[in-house]
Structure 1
Amino acid sequence: MAQVEAQGDSTQLHYIVTDLTGTARELCSEEGEVCWRGEQELWGAHREERRPIPLRRYLGDAANEEVYCELRYQGQLFDAETGLYYNRHRYYDA
């Protein structure tokens, strides 16, 4: 699985590393560097670690932004605006 972000003419490709249940645990750059790491607590509360992306000429301005993964447990997305987790047709808090 991969996460692709595009901003103007530049794109970022990060590979999603999952555990046995399909939960996203890390995002790795094309060079294999870990750019984001996340862990879920028992009831779904999320702890994460962000790392700035190293500057690469071909990415332009997008190279200085931090990488973020919205995936949580399999099938869940985190909505930063509301602070809730979207799980198919419902929103939950952790």
Structure 2
Amino acid sequence: MAFLEVPLYLFTQYIYGENSWEPLARVDSIGEQSDIFWYHTELNGLPERMTDEHGEVVWRGHFSTWGETERESVTGFQAVQQNLRFQGQYLDRESGLHFNLFRYYDLVGGRFT
């Protein structure tokens, strides 16, 4: 299963486990050049960190029990933004809500909107 994101000139493809929403990898492409990033997740599928093709950590996230971002850090050469959260959730940084296919989840209020 794959989810595609196309902001301006960057083409991003997410690779998930078979019959799962757990992310395995992300491929960022600009023209002919591609970079692959590997997800390292907690048991519940929440991404903890991302590494590049050389095994260097490029993103690390720390979350509360309910998935609220407590701290994010970007390291290494590339400034990588990572928006996947709990399985099936995508962070909308503009609103602060988590998108769940057909509705948004508000972490602060603890409810779907």
Residue identity over aligned pairs, in percent, reads 39
Q: Which runs of 5+ in 2 are unaligned?
A: 1-23, 108-113
| Residue 7 (structure 1) aligned with residue 30 (structure 2) | yes
Q: Please, what TM-score do these two structures have when normalized by structure 1? A: 0.78
1:38-57 equivalence runs, <5 A: 38-46=61-69, 47-53=71-77
Contact 1:52 1:67 in 2 (8 A): no
Structure 1 residues 9-60: Cα deviation after superposition (integer angstroms, max 9, x where no partner): 221100001111111111001111110001211232112111242xxxxxxx
Name the counterpart of 2:86: 73
How many pairs does the alignment contain?
83
**Deviation above 3 Å: which 4+ runs of structure 1?**
none
Q: Which runs of 5+ in 1 are unaligned?
A: 54-64
Q: Which has the higher contact order (CA 8 A, sep 6+)?
A: 1
State the Cα RMSD in Å.
1.4
1:9-28 equivalence runs, <5 A: 9-28=32-51
Q: Please, what TM-score do these two structures have when normalized by structure 2? A: 0.66
Higher relative helix content: 1
Higher relative strand content: 2
Structure 1 residues 63-91: Cα deviation after superposition (integer angstroms, max 9, x where no partner): xx411211111211101232211123111
